[in-house]
Amino acid sequence: MKNLLTVTDLSRKEVEEILNIAGRFKEERGEGIRNTNILAGKSILLYFEKPSTRTRVSLEVAILELGGHPIMVRKEELQLVRGESIADTARVLSKYVDAIIARVYKHEFLEELAKYSTIPVINALSDLYHPLQAIADVFTIKEYFGRLKGVRVAFIGDGGSNVAHSLILISALLGLDITVACPEKYSPGSTVLKKALLLAEKSGAEIKVVDDPVQAVKDADVVYTDVFVSMGFEREREERLKIFLPKYQVNRNLLKNARRRIVFMHCLPAHRGEEVASEVLDDETISLVFRQAENRLHTAKAVLAHIFGVRI
Ligand code: CP
Ligand code: NVA
């Protein structure tokens, strides 16, 4: 049984397989072929503690297009909010559905859920990781550049965000070079960095953390950012904006420092005027954000096919 709580639950080979399958799903959908019976007879629970546009809808459509049955529940609908334990919830749900996909505040919640479930558990975003986003991101990079190895990514902003963590880990796994430019207080977690450096020894990836966004952008092919205030951190909003702005905003002025032609990426939703200026986000000559968002669907289908061990 496979869980996907973080991208390093997958091997490099498995991620590469998922990217290939996603490519085939995308091609087929382009030709109007949508429905398969890969998940026929399977029910999948979507449990969401936080809002979501892309993750929730792409997963629900992915499950339907693969012939499965999605069941969406919000946190307040389960007995968990009245004190039922995660362990008991996991044991019960395992008798009904074939997988649980969950978006949660605390990553430990997912670990506990996975510990007591006898079915796969997939992370749809936690405070620590966003693996489904990272898989769509590298799919998008590969689609655009035709390769992954040696592509140089600059992540600007909150180096401790779930999106940054998963991007660092997947880069380390697949051999992309990544420089994170962030204030020291918002550096990537030490466990993530340690793991990334270990993986990088094998893949040849270069992982750097710097303070200066100009330095990161200089040699980049991809400039990536995420919100300064992630879900669950709203109380820190004022303090964070004071530290991040104006230095870490991705705008035309910052991008002038790039020595190569860059593309811009963002997981979305964006806070225009905070981590990114509209002039960059809306510049169709460099912005891949809507392609990234579309690719969430194709890659979600590929992840599900992989989790259920379907050979395509
Ligand atoms: N990128 C992403 O996960 O978006 P949602 O919060 O809309 O799901
Ligand atoms: N870091 C952001 C990502 C949203 C998709 C958050 O957690 O709010």
Residue ranges covered by each domain of the chain: 7-129+296-307, 133-292
Residue 163 near ligand 2, beta carbon < 6 Å: yes
Average pLDDT over residues 243-250: 98
Q: How far is the CA of 202 from the centre of ligand 1 (A)?
A: 31
Residue 233 near ligand 2, beta carbon < 6 Å: no
Q: What percent helix, strand, coil does the chain show, rounded to 5? A: 50, 15, 35
Predicted TM-score of the model (pTM):
0.98
- Other C-beta atoms closer than 10 Å to the C-beta of 246 total 9
The architecture (CATH level 2) of 7-129+296-307 comes to 3-Layer(aba) Sandwich (3.40)
Residue type at 151 in one-letter notation: V
- Other C-beta atoms closer than 10 Å to the C-beta of 122 total 25
Residue type at 250 in one-letter notation: V
Query: For residue range 100-128, what is the model confidence (pLDDT) as tens digits?
Result: 999 999 999 999 999 999 999 999 999 99
The pLDDT score that the predictor gives to residue 220 is 98
CATH topology of domain 133-292: Rossmann fold (3.40.50)
131 in Cβ contact with 123 (< 8 Å): yes
Mean pLDDT in the chain? 97
7-129+296-307 against 133-292: fold identical: yes
Q: Who contacts 177 (Cβ-Cβ below 8 Å, separation ≥6)?
A: 150, 151, 152, 153, 171, 205, 206, 207
Q: Which atom of ligand 1 is nearest to the CA of 57?
A: 8
Buried b (16+ CB within 10 A) or exposed e, 3-13: bbbbbbebebe
Pocket test for ligand 2, best of 267, 268, 271, 275 (most atoms within 8 A of CB): 267
Query: For residue range 31-89, what is the model confidence (pLDDT) as tens digits?
Result: 998 888 999 999 999 999 999 999 999 999 999 999 999 999 999 999 999 999 999 99
Query: For residue range 156-190, what is the model confidence (pLDDT) as tens digits?
Result: 999 999 999 999 999 999 999 999 999 999 999 99
- The conformation of residue 5, written as its DSSP 8-state character, comes to S
